[in-house]
Amino acid sequence: MLKAIRRFFGEKASGQVARKRMQVVLMHDRLDLTPDVMESLKNDILMVLSRYMEIDDQTIKVDLEQGKEYTALVSNVIIKRVYRRGDFA
């Protein structure tokens, strides 16, 4: 019964969460991306985005996602406002 309730509400089993975490670790290893490189990448993304929009730089998340035939860099950033032509920072 508990499994059915968890599935209904979208809660993942701890094994699924652990598997996803392990996949992320393996992707980082395969791509040779150290935590320092990921932090530099995050900072570079912030620098470029901040030229065109006001962003909440405390909330950025940069992750890797693995598909069957690809690895994707996924970045989530909260945008406060987009600069118009004369508003560039």
The pLDDT tens digits for 65-82 are: 877 788 888 889 999 999
In a domain, residue 89? The reply is no
Contact 46, 59 (CB under 8 A): no
Q: Is 35 a member of any domain?
A: yes
For the cut 60, the answer to whether the pLDDT of residue 26 exceeds it is yes
Instruction: Give the domain extent around 34.
Output: 2-84
- Domain contains 52: yes
Amino acid 54: pLDDT? 93
**Per-residue pLDDT for 4 more than 60?**
no
Instruction: Look at residue 28 and tell me whether its pLDDT is greater than 80.
Output: no
For residues 77 and 47, is the Cβ–Cβ distance under 8 A? no
Q: Is residue 62 part of a domain?
A: yes
Taking CA 27 as the corner, what is the angle to CA 12 and CA 77, rounded to the nearest 5 degrees?
70
Run of H or E residues at 86: none
Helices (H) and strands (E) counted in the chain, each on its own, are 3, 2
Tokens describing residue 27: 């992707």
pLDDT digits (tens, 9 = 90+) for 45-59: 889 999 999 999 888
Give me the number of domains the chain comprises: 1
Does 42 map to a domain?
yes
